[in-house]
Amino acid sequence: MDVSLRYLEGIGPQKEKLFWKLGIRSIRGLLYYFPFKYQDRRRIAKIGSIGKEGYYAVRAEIISISSRTNFVTRKHIHEAVLQDSSGRIKAVWFNQPYLNNYLHKGDKLFIFGPVRFYRGSLRFIVPEFDKDYGESLSSGRIVPFYRLTKNVSQRMLRRIISLALEKYQSRIDDFLPFYLRKSVGLLSLPLALKMIHFPSDFSILERARERFIFEEFFLMQILVYQRKAMWRQPKPHHISANSKLIGELKARLSFNLTVSQEKALEDIVNDMVSIYPMRRLLQGEVGSGKTVVAFIAMALAALSSLQVAFMVPTEILAWQHFNNLKAFLSHLPIRVEILTSSSRHHSILARSRSGKIDILVGTHALLNEKLQFKHLGLVVIDEQHRFGVAQKVLLFRKAQRPDILIMSATPIPRSLALTIYGDLDISLIKELPPGRKIPQVLIFKEEERNKAYEIVQREVKKGRQAYMIYPLIEEDGLEQAVIFVYEKLKKAFSSFRLGLLHGKLKAEKKYKVLSDFQKGEIDILVSTSVVEVGIDVPQASVMVVEGVDKFGLSQLHQLRGRISRSIFQPFFIIIEPLNLREEGRKRLRIISKTADGFKIAEEDMKLRGPGDLFGNMQTGFLSPSFADPLKDIEYLRKARYYAYQIVKKDKALALSQHRFLRERIRSDLEKCLLWQAS
């Protein structure tokens, strides 16, 4: 099936290119180009038998057609008289002037739509029509509709697909083993393909859909388990259990770890002391305290004479972690250093290579190919959703089978976690530290901005701190705008100490501003969204966000996370832009209704589609097109179960009953080098 479209009659180089535009590059691509909707055209009515209102399909010829404009309503009306062997009926369309050139007397049409009483007689009111009158693929059956591109018509696609089915259907090997199909109750591949395009009824169409949903999940899960098996080989380094160290470090904290933090730490330590590499995702709500858990893991690795790489998405977050880590481990012989794009690279590269750095905190600068380690044993990535797959892999590859800890505050629904991160073990920090208050969300209109400012003043007078956030609009050079706003705000809040933070500041300056804010020497921090992730200033309890239409739901949730660390009642204040669109309003409604990151992630996915999350995987094959991990969770569970059974029994898919599966996966993998690379 992986053969060129040119094997089909009627497809030459030109047509082939047209199909490429639709992403169809092979016979398989064509057969897997599924309809997006269907229309039931099975029952063709005789015009003479239409006696009451309802939906009808007829085949008829245009006897006459005219158009006019109603002077009162200004409506443009097309009226046609249609005839078949049994009688005549009128059809009307409103405001579709292009019909002038499209429908003509003598045209034979397939007409489909509502028949209503109108001006005393029954007629078709704005019916759909199809010029493929006598064509068997387009009438008298459930008819498929495909997404088109210029110069490709429904009729052409139907014909080509039907041709391909005819020619290849009997030669298609089902890669799902028979026993599996039988126990899940799935249609065979040839039948499912036929029925997804040209269903004989709707119930078998549903079964065809089930088959494809299952197979998408299944292939993905096979890969996930194969990869998991691949990682399950002894690692070259050794980490010793060190409960004394862990006890000491916990004692240095001013709080007790929560139950989930303890559990996550236990999972991580178990992974690290095991002979196999750790591959763990640490998930937890914004502010749930993931950092301290990771810090302890890093200390454990460092004291086993291993190096640690800790990658974070922004420079200010790198500085924050670097300082906190140094302070936290100051009593231990552990050398912590930082590498960002503004560091002096040369000496750090040299020290890292010779093993003189134990923990290296850094931004994307860690991906520098010249950066090498002497004995890298642990890789930690914070805010992992901000990095692409390829970037993570680059870092992992600086060591042989390192322990890997990935942290994420974008909680994704469990079903999705299984698909995307199915090869990782997951620890979840469920609860927030005790005493946290849920921020009160206040939404003000532009003209009520003063009320928002009054709240800021009131709170800051009580000794609290505030953020004022402006979106970063790169094309407008918004750094300019935020600097401008900053000057205005300094006047509006003249009795307070203001600070300004944005991406274009020099590194030292950024760090200075942030540490002044942390020390309480700045009351109000005016900033772009550079503080969106990770920044931890517990005394800050007020945030004003402008330009919310520029922020997605998850981003807003992250921003709110900055002030959820306070023991005071936090206020999350949104200035609603003029003319906020419906989608923006929806986001605000969700943000004010819930503070639960999981719910927000789900809503976010509903608004934007899971594409964004899958996009992060950067592999064509693994982006499901058909299955929806939220809706089709039952199939995901089943697919995962069977994939696990198969890989457990036959990791290399060497058994003869898995031959076609092996071939299918290999051919998919060739299209997705990245996955292989990792």
Question: In terms of DSSP bridges, do strands 465-469 and 540-545 run parallel, antiparallel, or are they unpaired?
Answer: parallel
> If you ran DSSP here, which 8-state letter would residue 676 be given?
H
The answer to whether residue 286 forms part of the interface with ligand ADP (CB under 6 A) is yes
Q: Which stretch binds ligand ADP (CB under 6 A): 10-18, 281-289, 305-313, 325-333?
A: 281-289
* Residue 351 near residue 338 (C-beta atoms within 8 A): no
Q: How far is the CB of 533 from Mg ion (least distance, A)?
A: 7
Cβ neighbours of 188 (radius 10 Å): 14
Does the footprint of Mg ion cover residue 287 (CB under 5 A)? no
Question: Which letter does DSSP use for residue 558 in this model?
Answer: H
For residue 355, the partner it binds in ligand ADP, Mg ion, none, with Cβ less than 5 to 8 A by kind, is none
Residue 323 is a binding residue for ligand ADP (CB under 6 A)? no
Secondary structure class of 240 (helix, strand, coil): coil
The count of residues interacting with ligand ADP (CB under 6 A) is 17
Which residue number, 267 or 532, has a Cβ lying nearer to Mg ion? 532
* Residue of 292, 365, 405, 548 interacting with ligand ADP (CB under 6 A): 292
Region binding ligand ADP by CB under 6 A among candidate stretches 41-49, 286-294, 328-336, 654-662: 286-294
Per partner kind, with CB cut-offs from 5 to 8 A, the member of ligand ADP, Mg ion, none near residue 588 is: none
Q: Rounded to 5 degrees, what angle do the CA atoms 409, 559, 602 make?
A: 50
Would you count residue 624 as binding Mg ion (CB under 5 A)?
no
Q: Is 433 in the site for ligand ADP (CB under 6 A)?
A: yes
Closer CB to Mg ion, residue 321 or residue 510? 321
Site string for Mg ion, 483-522 (x = CB under 5 A): ----------------------------------------
160: left (phi over 0), alpha (psi -120 to 50) or beta: alpha
Tell me if 288 contacts ligand ADP by CB under 6 A.
yes
- 419 phi and psi angles, rounded to 5 deg: -75, -50
Residue selected from 226, 261, 541, 554 as contacting ligand ADP according to rule CB under 6 A: 261
DSSP string, 538-549: TTEEEEEE--GG
> What's the closest the beta carbon of residue 335 comes to Mg ion, in angstroms?
23
How far is residue 423's CA from residue 281's CA, in Å, rounded to a whole number? Answer: 10
Question: At closest approach, how far in Å is the CB of 407 from ligand ADP?
Answer: 7
Q: Output the six-digit token pair for 230.
A: 């691949």
d(CA 284, CA 596): 11
Among 280, 290, 587, 658, contact with ligand ADP (rule: CB under 6 A)? 290
By beta-carbon proximity to ligand ADP, the closer residue of 261 and 541 is 261
- What are phi and psi for residue 524, nearest 5 degrees? -125, 120
The residue (of 284 and 402) whose beta carbon lies closer to ligand ADP is 284
- Piece of the chain touching ligand ADP by CB under 6 A; list 11-19, 79-87, 106-114, 254-262: 254-262
∠ CA(480), CA(538), CA(417), 5° rounding? Answer: 85
Residue 290 or 502: the one with the smaller Cβ distance to Mg ion is 290
Q: For residues 551-590, which are near ligand ADP according to CB under 6 A? A: 565
The answer to the question of residue 538 lying near ligand ADP (CB under 6 A) is: yes
Is 405 within 8 Å of 283 (Cβ atoms)?
no
Beta carbons within 8 Å of 472's beta carbon, 6+ residues apart = 478, 479, 502, 503, 528, 529, 530, 550
Q: Which of 558, 525, 530 is nearest to 542 (CA)?
A: 525
Q: Residue 11's closest CA among 172, 148, 159, 197? A: 159
Considering only residues 221, 258, 415, 527, which one is a binding residue for ligand ADP as defined by CB under 6 A?
258
- Give the closest residue to 605 by CA, choosing from 353, 415, 332: 415
At its nearest, how many Å lie between Mg ion and the CB of residue 596? 18
Query: Does the protein bind ligand ADP through residue 287 (CB under 6 A)?
Result: yes
User: For residues 534 and 629, which CB has a smaller minimum distance to Mg ion in the complex?
Assistant: 534
Distance CA 402, CA 393 (A): 11
Q: Token digits for 367?
A: 């991906």
Nearer to ligand ADP, 414 or 436 (CB): 436
382 by DSSP, 3-state: which?
A: coil
Binding mask 396-425 for ligand ADP (x = CB under 6 A): -------------x----------------
| Contact criterion met (CB below 8 Å) for 456 and 526 | no
* Interface mask toward Mg ion for 520-539; x: CB under 5 A: --------------x-----
Query: Mask 359-398, x = binds ligand ADP (CB under 6 A)?
Result: ----------------------------------------
In angstroms, the CA 295 to CA 299 distance is 6
Which of 260, 291, 314, 410 forms a contact with ligand ADP (CB under 6 A)?
291
Question: Least separation, in Å, of the C-beta of 297 and ligand ADP?
Answer: 13
Least Å distance, CB 243 to ligand ADP, is 19
Least gap, CB of 252 to ligand ADP (angstroms): 12
Question: d(Cα 377, Cα 393) in Å, to the nearest integer?
Answer: 15
Coil/strand/helix, residue 62: strand
The stretch among 13-21, 106-114, 284-292, 513-521 that binds ligand ADP (CB under 6 A) is 284-292
Q: What are phi and psi of 520, to 5 degrees?
A: 85, 15
Are the CB atoms for 109 and 62 separated by under 8 Å? Answer: yes
CA–CA distances in Å: residue 382 to residues 91, 379, 385, 430: 63, 10, 9, 18
- Among residues 284, 471, 597, 610, which is the contact residue for ligand ADP, using CB under 6 A? 284
Among 257, 265, 299, 428, binds ligand ADP (CB under 6 A): 257
Q: Which two tokens stand for residue 35?
A: 């309809």
Q: At what angle do helices 597-608 and 582-593 cross, to 10 degrees?
A: 160
Asked if 144 touches Mg ion (CB under 5 A), the answer is no
Q: CB-wise, 8 or 409, nearer to ligand ADP?
A: 409
Are 43 and 115 in contact by the 8 Å Cβ rule? The answer is: no
Which residues contribute to the site for ligand ADP (CB under 6 A)? Answer: 255, 257-258, 261, 284, 286-292, 409, 433, 536, 538, 565
Which residues contribute to the site for Mg ion (CB under 5 A)? Answer: 534
